[in-house]
Amino acid sequence: DGGITQSPKYLFRKEGQNVTLSCEQNLNHDAMYWYRQDPGQGLRLIYYSQIVNDFQKGDIAEGYSVSREKKESFPLTVTSAQKNPTAFYLCASTSSGRAYNEQFFGPGTRLTVL
Amino acid sequence: SQQGEEDPQALSIQEGENATMNCSYKTSINNLQWYRQNSGRGLVHLILIRSNEREKHSGRLRVTLDTSKKSSSLLITASRAADTASYFCATDARSSNTGKLIFGQGTTLQVKP
């Protein structure tokens, strides 16, 4: 099956810990995105990557870091610098080119700070 | 910067009725997309309408786009209980060449059986 997988589904973090959220896609998409969703809100862009070994900050990048060493993978690290990390995190990918099309989303990771 | 604003924030209807959701945006766009999110899940793409299109249909979905008013509407006809979800519009700004989408805050639709 083609698609995007995220793991884990639920993640609990203690204060001061860094945690890494996994995102993998087998759709052969060049572009990948990380979003944060708070209760009752829309999605806000954290980081995005249009190509391997390159990524850009989105609207709320502070306290987060990413890497893009492989086309299939775009892990997100939530660092201790992120003061309010409890949220639902969604990863997405899209084919790129002259015209971007729809984004395909993973099932999400719900992060809770204890 | 918030690009899409959706209206209403919440909508409750009976099964079989039509549901209409509206989205407004601020800058010129390449395309506008609608997504659905079931509670606690990822988003599912419903339909994409390009800036040079005015109307698009997909099954029970009808989307319109008015670029002069910078607005779009999503109509779900003959709604079903399974349509209960949150619906988001998302825009791809014309000034951007990154595929970045800016999402509205969504409309929560409840369809009562």
Q: What is the torsional sign of CA A57, A60, A64, A70?
A: negative
With a cut of 80, say whether residue B4 has pLDDT above it. no
pLDDT at A40 over 90: no
In percent, the amount of chain B with pLDDT more than 70 equals 95
The length of chain A, given as a count of residues: 114
Report helix, strand or coil for B83.
helix
Q: Does the distance separating the beta carbons of B92 and A100 come in below 8 Å? A: yes
How high is the pLDDT of residue A15? 86
Residues A3-36: tens digit of each pLDDT: 999 999 999 988 889 999 999 999 999 999 999 9
Greater model confidence, A114 or B89: B89
Rounded to whole angstroms, how far apart are CA atoms B6 and A103?
20
Looking at residue B1, what is its pLDDT? 43
**pLDDT score for B93:** 75
Residue (of A18, A27, A22, A26) closest to A9 by Cα position: A22
Question: What are φ and ψ of residue B10, in 5° steps?
Answer: -140, 145
Q: Which among A4, A45, A101 has CB closest to B100?
A: A45
Residue B98: predicted pLDDT: 76
Q: A102 falls in which pLDDT band (50, 70, 90)?
A: confident
According to DSSP, the residues that pair with B14 across neighbouring strands are B112
Q: What is the pLDDT of residues A56-100, one digit of tens each?
A: 999 999 999 999 999 999 999 999 888 899 999 999 999 875 456
Give the pLDDT score at B100. Answer: 85
DSSP code, position B15: T
CA distances to A29, A30, A69, B19, B21 from A97, rounded to whole Å, are 10, 9, 20, 34, 30
The chain A residue lying nearest B94, using CA atoms, is A99
Supply the pLDDT for residue A97.
56
pLDDT tens-place string over residues B42-84: 999 999 999 999 999 999 999 999 999 999 999 999 999 999 9
Return the pLDDT at B2. Answer: 47
Give residue for tokens 């203690």: A14
Please choose, from the candidates A79, A82, A77, A42, the residue with its C-alpha nearest in 3D space to the C-alpha of residue A60.
Answer: A82
B98 touching A (Cβ < 8 Å)? yes
In A, minimum Cα distance to B96 occurs at A100
Q: Average pLDDT over chain B, rounded to whole?
A: 92
